[in-house]
Amino acid sequence: MTNSISTDICIIGAGPVGLFAVFEAGLLKLRCHVVDALPQVGGQLSEIYPKKPIYDIPGFPDILAGDLVQNLMRQIEPFHPTFTLGERVERLAKLEDGSFQLFTTDGTEIFCKAIAIAGGLGSFEPRKPAVESLENYEGGRGVYYMVRDPETFRDRRIVIAGGGDSALDWTIFLADVAKEVTLVHRGTTFRGAADSAEKVQKLHEAGRARLVLSSNVTHVHGQDGLEAVTITANDGTTETLHVDAFIPLFGLTPKLGPIGEWGLELEDDAVKVNTLDYSTSVPGIFAIGDINTYPGKLKLILCGFHEAALMAQGAYKYMFPDKRYVLKYTTVNGVPTL
Amino acid sequence: MTDEVRVYVEEAPSQRREVVAPTDMALSLMEVLKASGYDIQATCGGMALCGTCHVEVLAGPALDEPSDDELAMLESLPVMTQGSRLSCQIRINNRLDGLVVRLMPQNT
């Protein structure tokens, strides 16, 4: 069944700038729905450096990235935004009345009057190893870049590749679920959590998971779906394993993704905007934060906050061209609720 | 002693571009490469947390050993060679003159 959502502004990207856009839109009594490809809010701040201190947020001599996200979530609480997390907006359609319909990867559709793209560096996508024809086995045909539902692998033969915490953690977890688990790692040691590395070693010694070091998965084979992988050791020897699933876990990297195909004017993979209101070349679509570009652009969180404030006013005028907008200071009026 | 060094970026086999880097600004190689127009995301801003400034050192002076954090990040990437380094962890100093690097692809 399709999940259908109706809102005033759909904000694409739940990073700090997207979250603050909810606040600025909320001051204008606009409802927001936020979509992000990652399963949690915070964008880069949550995904990459939650423990990194940030020093250039006004009013905070220093604040951990993760704490900034928490504060932003608290700040937007009065406006009751709704979220679709773990889904990427794939496609959009402009409707006759100037509003929009958005479609996500998981079939959610969002009807909105305006769109604010706050996509940062784009959506975070899995880093893929250099294995020929790997893409032929994506989409449920044997190659998985993340473990959404461990039950997918119950009683199946799987090969995990990678040397980070994800590879170790899922090897440990799936050893109890899958029929056979093999972890292939390029190096000889794991610098991830020592405890996890030790657990994997013990599973290997107990015969409950197999550990193949100094090796890479170099080939994938199969007709209609994945049937086998070839593992090549650093000394050149090879081994072909019959498997049902291959899970390369090499972390995430940001990509512009489908935003690049929405007909927006771009420059060097960034969306060109008018700094009057951060509108794009498509009326009703705005772009704020690291995803946009204009003369003098600075990729700073605080600049994104400024852009969010002007964008909200621009979006308001787009939605209600006949209504007069009067700036209200929160020091005078407090924070209204929706 | 000069206050700048020359680093070379191998853009294609036998094709190297010279990049002049100041030694008195405490810059990282990642910052110099970005300022020279190379497409480096450096998502984490230089904390060895994202791996998007991965380079391969091809020749030149010996560098300091990578830290455990840098090695941990490098080991989590799909491709790692003997010369793999995170350019955000290489500080520009006089000893770097003549360094030759290649930008590593982020995805295949």
Dump pLDDT digits (tens) for A301-313: 999 999 999 999 9
Nearest alpha-carbon partner for A222 in A282, A316, A100, A133? A133
Residue A125 main-chain phi, psi, to 5 deg? -125, 155
Hey, what are A326's tokens? 């009067």
Strand (E) or helix (H) holding A306: helix A301-319
Confidence of residue A223 (pLDDT cuts 50, 70, 90): very high
Q: Which alpha helices (H) appear in A77-232, and where do they start and end?
A: 165-174, 194-205
Q: How far apart are CA A163 and CA A173, in angstroms?
A: 15
pTM for this entry: 0.81
- Chain position carrying tokens 């070379």: B8
Per-residue pLDDT tens listing for chain B (108 residues): 579 999 999 999 989 999 999 999 999 999 999 999 998 988 888 889 889 999 999 999 999 999 988 998 898 888 889 999 999 999 999 999 999 999 998 764
Tell me which residue in B49, B75, B78 faces A191 most closely, judged by beta carbons. Answer: B75
What value does the mean pLDDT take over residues A102-123?
A: 94
Report yes or no: A7 and A110 within 8 Å, Cβ to Cβ.
yes
Confidence of residue A1 (pLDDT cuts 50, 70, 90): low
Tell me which residue in B72, B75, B78 faces A130 most closely, judged by beta carbons. Answer: B78
Q: Among all residues of chain B, which has the CA nearest to that of A128?
A: B107
Q: Among all residues of chain B, which has the CA nearest to that of A54?
A: B45
List of residues 6+ apart from A8 with CB closer than 8 A: A25, A30, A31, A32, A112, A113, A114, A315, A319
Q: How far apart are CA A208 and CA A318, in angstroms?
A: 60
Confidence of residue A159 (pLDDT cuts 50, 70, 90): very high
C-beta pairs of A97-104 under 8 Å, 24+ apart in sequence? A98/A283, A98/A284, A98/A318, A99/A284, A100/A10, A100/A284, A100/A285, A102/A10, A102/A12, A102/A35, A104/A35
Q: How far apart are CA A170 and CA A101, in angstroms?
A: 37
The string of pLDDT tens digits covering residues A36-48 is 998 899 998 998 8
Nearest alpha-carbon partner for B28 in B68, B58, B70, B59? B70
- Alpha-carbon distance A191 to nearest alpha carbon in chain B (angstroms): 5
User: A286 labelled as ligand-binding?
Assistant: no
Q: How far apart are CA A277 and CA A300, in angstroms?
A: 18
Strand (E) or helix (H) holding A193: none
DSSP result, A146-182: S-S-GGGGTT-EEEEE-SSHHHHHHHHHHTTTSSEEE
Q: How many other β-carbons are positioned within 10 Å of the β-carbon of residue B29?
A: 27
Residue A271 has pLDDT above 90, yes or no: yes
- Alpha-carbon distance B80 to nearest alpha carbon in chain A (angstroms): 8
- Chain position carrying tokens 């002076």: B61
Report yes or no: A115 and A91 within 8 Å, Cβ to Cβ.
no
Contacts of B76 in chain A (CB under 8 A): 162-164, 192, 250-251
Strand (E) or helix (H) holding A310: helix A301-319
Bridge partners, A17 (sequence order)? none
Return the CA Rg of chain B.
13
- Alpha-carbon distance B36 to nearest alpha carbon in chain A (angstroms): 15
Contacts of B50 in chain A (CB under 8 A): 48-49, 253
Strand (E) or helix (H) holding A73: helix A65-76
Q: DSSP class of residue A195?
A: H
Tell me which residue in B43, B49, B79 faces A130 most closely, judged by beta carbons. Answer: B79
- Which CA distances in Å does B8 have to B82, B83, B87, B94, B103? 18, 15, 13, 14, 11
Residue A170 has pLDDT above 70, yes or no: yes
User: A331 labelled as ligand-binding?
Assistant: yes
Hey, what are A142's tokens? 């044997």
Q: Among all residues of chain A, which has the CA nearest to that of B79?
A: A129
Strand (E) or helix (H) holding A162: none
Q: What is the pLDDT of residue B43?
A: 84
User: A44 labelled as ligand-binding?
Assistant: yes
Q: Among all residues of chain B, which has the CA nearest to that of A129?
A: B78
Q: What is the pLDDT of residue B108?
A: 47
Q: How far apart are CA B67 and CA A233, in angstroms?
A: 26
**Type of residue at A132:** E
